[in-house]
């Protein structure tokens, strides 16, 4: 049997324009949820950041809660404000996860333990399994691109495990298929049915080459907005025929929960740690090029500002400062700063009002003058 996981990442930067968010809701969030409600063949795992969930209609959250309760959608926890976790100290990571977990409990009624974590931007470092295991998580979802690069010295068929789950320090690491996920993101398909047929054919051929005729799996993971917002016809042209085709081939393929995949294929393996990387990694020497590129002046200033703030912030900050420490450093800012157009750089600068307020609220410290300099440099970059 080939088990297929399909994951949706639901996030918008907390400074997103309400008009834009309203459009995405009508184009993507609502119709995809309705598709699940109306079709028993459709199943997703998902993560929802508090940054987005706090701005979605109550009615949507209630519908999502029902689907989770009925095991029609599978929740993964994530960072509440889409922080690029490898760039932050462990205590910040822990607070981001706890904050989103609290949102799930209070707004979605999810009280049972959640075993898996969706890493924002699929950004991973080798220290994560030990940290996540200590927090009670069993696995996380990362990208298989860095693994492919790490194993480039062996035949391509054996670089990414499709019949076992890598496990380090008591925590599994599920790998999404960059190749097949990107085909969907880029709209590189005729329709969902032909895509499913091609995927399954390719997968069966891989198993034959490896003389592996047991169970195997493949995970697709994309932004929720891919369907309806980025690709306006993708719900009708891709999702409906894709799930229909998989259902018609139930003798060879099945849509599965990611937690089922983890438990079904888990191995107590210890091997060379998975290298640091994300969905955008093209060179293992530069694992996070869209967020921490030394050639990008905004990245340099943004990261120094971030590190300095968390270095000098008080252990028990006042409520307003605490909230800013939790929501101001979302990954979208440095990502937009990699774009050339002034309009995109303006979006990168949406965080700077919060940065200015952080400076005002921090207690007196000799490094505050440096924070002001960095803030001014970032203002100049986006101006």
Q: 58 and 7, same structural domain? A: yes
Cα 129 to Cα 77: distance, rounded to the nearest angstrom: 15
Q: Indicate the number of domains in the chain.
A: 2
Q: 183 and 63, same structural domain? A: yes
Q: 127 and 55, same structural domain? A: yes
Specify the pairing of strand 166-168 against strand 171-176.
Answer: antiparallel
Q: Which residues is 124 bridged to in the sheet?
A: 277
What pLDDT does residue 270 have?
Answer: 61
Cα 36 to Cα 14: distance, rounded to the nearest angstrom: 26
Q: Is residue 209 part of a domain?
A: yes
Cα 238 to Cα 198: distance, rounded to the nearest angstrom: 13
Q: Which residues is 75 bridged to in the sheet?
A: 46
Of 115, 107, 37, 102, which is closest to residue 73 (Cα–Cα)?
A: 37
For the chain, 383 residues long, the average pLDDT of each consecutive 10-residue run is 98 95 98 98 98 98 98 98 98 98 98 97 98 98 97 93 91 97 97 98 94 92 98 98 98 98 83 92 97 98 98 96 98 95 92 98 96 98 94
What pLDDT does residue 211 have?
Answer: 85
Among the three residues 265, 287, 310, which one is the final residue of a domain in this structure? 265
Q: Is residue 29 part of a domain?
A: yes
Query: Where residue 145 sits, what CATH number does that domain have?
Result: 3.20.110.20
Q: Is residue 21 part of a domain?
A: yes
Helix (H) or strand (E) holding 345: helix 342-348
Q: Is residue 290 part of a domain?
A: no
Q: 312 and 258, same structural domain? A: no
Cα 57 to Cα 53: distance, rounded to the nearest angstrom: 8
What pLDDT does residue 128 have?
Answer: 98
Q: Is residue 281 part of a domain?
A: no
Q: 151 and 48, same structural domain? A: yes
What pLDDT does residue 5 have?
Answer: 98
Cα distances (Å, whole numbers) of residue 373 to 314, 335, 348, 361: 21, 21, 18, 16
Of 147, 124, 221, which is closest to residue 182 (Cα–Cα)?
A: 221
Q: 178 and 105, same structural domain? A: yes
What pLDDT does residue 342 have?
Answer: 86
For residue 199, give its domain range. Answer: 2-265
Q: 193 and 323, same structural domain? A: no
pTM of structure? 0.96
HSE-up (13 A, CA, CB side) for residue 315: 0
Q: 316 and 216, same structural domain? A: no
Q: 156 and 49, same structural domain? A: yes
Cα 349 to Cα 336: distance, rounded to the nearest angstrom: 9
Q: Is residue 276 part of a domain?
A: no
Rounded to an integer, what is the distance from CA 54 to the centroid of its chain? 18
Q: 301 and 245, same structural domain? A: no
Specify the pairing of strand 116-118 against strand 73-75.
Answer: unpaired
Q: Is residue 311 part of a domain?
A: yes
Q: 161 and 81, same structural domain? A: yes
Q: 303 and 347, same structural domain? A: yes
Q: Is residue 283 part of a domain?
A: no
């Amino acid at each position: 049997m080939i088990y297929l996981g399909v994951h949706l990442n639901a996030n918008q930067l907390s400074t997103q324009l309400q008009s834009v968010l309203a459009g995405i809701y009508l184009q993507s969030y609502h119709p995809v949820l309705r598709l699940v409600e109306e079709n028993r063949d459709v199943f997703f795992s998902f993560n929802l950041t508090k940054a987005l969930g706090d701005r979605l209609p109550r009615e949507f959250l209630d519908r999502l809660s029902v689907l989770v309760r009925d095991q029609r959608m599978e929740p993964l926890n994530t960072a509440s404000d889409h922080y690029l976790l490898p760039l932050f100290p462990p205590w910040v990571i822990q607070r981001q996860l706890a904050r989103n977990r609290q949102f799930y409990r209070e707004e979605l009624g999810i009280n049972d333990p959640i075993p898996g974590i969706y890493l924002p931007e699929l950004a991973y470092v080798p220290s994560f399994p030990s940290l996540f295991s200590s927090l009670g998580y069993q696995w996380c979802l990362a990208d298989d691109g860095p693994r492919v690069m790490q194993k480039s010295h062996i035949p391509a068929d054996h670089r990414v495990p499709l019949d076992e789950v890598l496990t380090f320090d008591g925590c599994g690491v599920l790998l999404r298929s960059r190749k097949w996920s990107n085909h969907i993101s880029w709209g590189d398909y005729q329709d969902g049915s032909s895509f499913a047929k091609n995927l399954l054919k390719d997968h069966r051929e891989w198993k034959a080459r490896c003389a592996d005729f047991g169970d195997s799996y493949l995970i697709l993971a994309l932004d929720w907005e891919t369907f309806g917002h980025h690709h306006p016809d993708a719900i009708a042209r891709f999702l409906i025929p894709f799930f229909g085709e998989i259902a018609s081939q139930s003798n060879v393929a099945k849509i599965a929960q990611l937690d089922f995949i983890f438990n079904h294929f888990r191995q107590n393996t210890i091997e060379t740690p998975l290298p640091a990387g994300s969905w955008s990694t093209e060179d293992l020497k530069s694992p996070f090029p869209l967020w921490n590129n030394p050639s990008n002046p905004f990245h340099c200033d943004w990261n120094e500002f971030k590190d300095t703030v968390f270095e000098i912030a008080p252990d028990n900050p006042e409520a307003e400062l605490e909230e800013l420490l939790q929501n101001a450093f979302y990954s979208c800012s440095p990502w937009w700063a990699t774009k050339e157009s002034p309009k995109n750089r303006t979006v990168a600068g949406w965080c700077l009002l919060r940065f200015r307020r952080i400076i005002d609220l921090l207690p007196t410290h000799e490094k505050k003058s440096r924070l002001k300099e960095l803030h001014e440099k970032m203002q100049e970059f986006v101006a």
